[in-house]
Amino acid sequence: MSTLPPSAVLSAVSLTAGAPAASGRTHDDVARANPGRGAAPAQRGAVPQAAPVATPLPRALRGILSLDDFEAAARRRLPRPIFGYVAGAAENNQSRDDNRAAFAEHGFAPRVLVDVSARDTSVELFSRRYAAPFGLAPMGISALSAYRGDIALARAAHAAGVVAIMSGSSLIPLEDVHAAAPGTWFQAYLPGDPARIDALVERVARAGYETLVLTVDIPVSANRENNVRTGFSTPLRPSLRLAWDGLTHPRWLAGTFLRTLVRHGMPHFENSFATRGAPILSANVLRDFSARDHLNWAHVARIRATWKGQLVIKGIMNPADAAVARRHGVDGVIVSNHGGRQLDGTVSPLRVLPDVAHEAGDMVVMMDSGIRRGSDVLKALALGARYVFVGRPMNYAAAVGGEAGVAHGIRLLRDEVDRNMAMLGVLSCEEVNRRLLRAMGPAR
């Protein structure tokens, strides 16, 4: 445990964001998501499934009935800068808003009188069977929203039998997360510097990760005016405003930030490169975003030649890029506009998903951005995705309830997928296709 100088403790008061104190429940106490009805037998490399545990929900989660409910609860718990960082997007939020609007333009045409008693929500990705067709998107700085947030997210996903992707912009060493939740995927933000790329990729491989996700839609930092307005920066800079935001959210101050300081020392960006990065709180240190505008397909070819596991590219929005990725031997792509946090005005991934899937060939096509309901998951599957990822709501879930909160969020979404499959008249995710969809007018 690091010994903290008085200035660090004072800085802790300066940085304050409201997530609840941990409940003290162990990993084994967290309720697992139920396997799907008629779930397929385990295959090689399948994620182990635990029997469901009837555990009363913590008080903070008892009123949470959907993923959207987590947002309001997290707003009350998190200080303004931290909540604003998670909730915000780029410039006028056009892309973030279109991510949701696109789903409302598709409706279902269900089949009836189908025996759906043996329905199965599981899917196979890269020779592994997962319990549901959705997982957890990479979320940077999640350990600032919730105590040991990266581990809470990864462990909840592992227990539920779904994928979690750890963010390269994280505050816990990637080795610790993989040890806590084997099978987690790692997402990297890479500079166009071959030496730095090689060192990070080698570190990820040594830690035991089998799937490497390259996020490619950040050649330069986005114009996130919302961060400026709410007082968020990376690293955070101590100020009276920041101190007040922390002091007015004491549950987070004691349960997340001060608890982290006492047990683990000042959080740093641990995984941007092969070596430790900047601290999360500093008056004069700048986070290194250098050379990302140099990244190109030659770097992808270099990584493909050395990385022995699955290689996934996240941030594909143009079918032409999917075709290039396929030619470079990429195993999968994630159609994504980064939750609307990069180029504002980029269309929803749902709108380009069918065209990307057409060009992808035998690559695994996945999608994120805007998923909030089981119906959203199934619409994405119908339009060509094999798997989808959920971001902000699971970050809020961790802030509200830690690992138990994330487990509850996964369970809610899994139940929606299962229920909707029954009402659609389909027995498996593979049966979900465009014949089940019809165009709808704008939401009213």
The answer to whether the annotation marks 170 as part of a ligand binding site is no
Confidence class for position 16, pLDDT limits 50, 70, 90 = very low
Residue 21 has pLDDT above 50, yes or no: no
Nearest to 15 by CA among 141, 139, 138, 140: 141
Q: Is residue 407 part of a domain?
A: yes
The answer to whether the annotation marks 138 as part of a ligand binding site is yes
CA distance 344 to 223: 9
- Local structure of 115: helix, strand or coil: coil
Mean pLDDT on 350-361: 98
pTM (2 d.p.)? 0.87
The answer to whether the annotation marks 326 as part of a ligand binding site is no
Tokens 């990244």 identify what position?
295
Q: Is residue 317 part of a domain?
A: yes
Residue 125 has pLDDT above 50, yes or no: yes
**Contact assessment for residue 75 and residue 422, using Cβ atoms and an 8 Å cutoff:** no
Provide the domain count of the chain: 1
Q: Is residue 41 part of a domain?
A: no
**Contact assessment for residue 13 and residue 250, using Cβ atoms and an 8 Å cutoff:** no
CA distance 286 to 341: 20
Q: Is residue 26 part of a domain?
A: no
- Where residue 148 sits, what CATH number does that domain have? 3.20.20.70
Tell me the catalytic residues.
338
Q: Is residue 128 part of a domain?
A: yes
**pLDDT tens digits, 305-331:** 999 999 999 999 999 999 999 999 999
Q: Is residue 6 part of a domain?
A: no
Q: Is residue 83 part of a domain?
A: yes
Residue 380 has pLDDT above 70, yes or no: yes
The answer to whether the annotation marks 368 as part of a ligand binding site is yes
The answer to whether the annotation marks 7 as part of a ligand binding site is no
> Which pLDDT score is estimated for 288?
64
Confidence class for position 11, pLDDT limits 50, 70, 90 = very low
* Domain span including residue 302: 68-439
The answer to whether the annotation marks 435 as part of a ligand binding site is no
The answer to whether the annotation marks 444 as part of a ligand binding site is no
CA distance 185 to 165: 5
Confidence class for position 282, pLDDT limits 50, 70, 90 = confident
Q: Is residue 1 part of a domain?
A: no
Residue 40 has pLDDT above 60, yes or no: no
